[in-house]
Amino acid sequence: MNNYCGTSRIAGCQFTLYPMSDQFIEIILSALEEVDTSKVWKDTDDVTTCIRGKMVHIFDVTKAIFLHAAKTGEHVAMSGTFSIGCPGDSDADVYMDETDTPLNEEKSREIMQQAGCKFSLYPLGREDYMDVIYEQIDLSRHRNVEVSSTHYATRLDGDVHHIFGALHEAFDSVQEKVSHVTMTFSISANSPTNKE
């Protein structure tokens, strides 16, 4: 273990929600209103939103925000980077005292939404990082999503709940072996077929 960050295993995600609609402000605000973010540290500016806390809540909140935006039927996308074990990452440590119960799962479960997603795992500080990545890509073939490989990324297609489930599991299993891991993702829903 090459752990720079002491005892805290605080996770985080820096992401942006992109509604491809003139109503983008309303869609973003209403998604945020419907999602309970009280178990995570949160900071939003004009480029990204950053949330930090226990891994379970990071995935719960990002999935919920995406789902509540996608249920509008508009073409929405979300892109971001999950991170854990980042050196110096300690000022939101108080959120690590929250319980493990996700606050948004019940409401999220009511939303069925298909999506396409590309993700890439970056285990840092390890010379054998490619072995860790390949091992994980193999694992994801057993999930309830369609998995395909593409340049620089793995593509997942299916229900948003299954996609975020696969992302969460992939990230979790790699961070058990590697202290500092980041995972980029781009997810898209309600895309018109002929979009280029």
Residues at the site binding a second copy, with contacts judged by CB under 8 A? 2, 4, 12, 14, 16, 18-22, 24-25, 28-29, 32, 43-48, 50, 52, 75, 77, 79, 81, 83, 86-87, 89, 116-118, 120, 122, 124-127, 129-130, 150-153, 155, 182, 184, 186-188, 191-193, 195-196
Nearer to a second copy, 56 or 117 (CB): 117
CB of 110 to a second copy, least distance (A): 24
DSSP states along 90-159: -TTGGGGGS-S--SSHHHHTT---EEEEEEEEEE-S-TTHHHHHHHHHHHGGGSSSEEEEETTEEEEEEE
CB of 32 to a second copy, least distance (A): 7
CB of 133 to a second copy, least distance (A): 9
Spell 36-59 as b/e; 16+ CB within 10 A means b.
Answer: ebebbbbeeeeeebbbbbbbbbbb
Nearer to a second copy, 7 or 194 (CB): 194
Nearer to a second copy, 106 or 179 (CB): 179
Give the SS3 label for residue 176: coil
CB of 2 to a second copy, least distance (A): 7
Q: Are strands 11-19 and 49-53 parallel, antiparallel or unpaired?
A: antiparallel
Nearer to a second copy, 157 or 172 (CB): 157
CB of 142 to a second copy, least distance (A): 22
CB of 68 to a second copy, least distance (A): 14
Identify the helix (H) or strand (E) that includes residue 191.
none
Beta bridge partners of 17: 78
d(CA 165, CA 60): 10
Nearer to a second copy, 77 or 174 (CB): 77
d(CA 61, CA 40): 8
Q: Give the pair of three-digit tokens for residue 51.
A: 């949330």
Nearer to a second copy, 45 or 106 (CB): 45
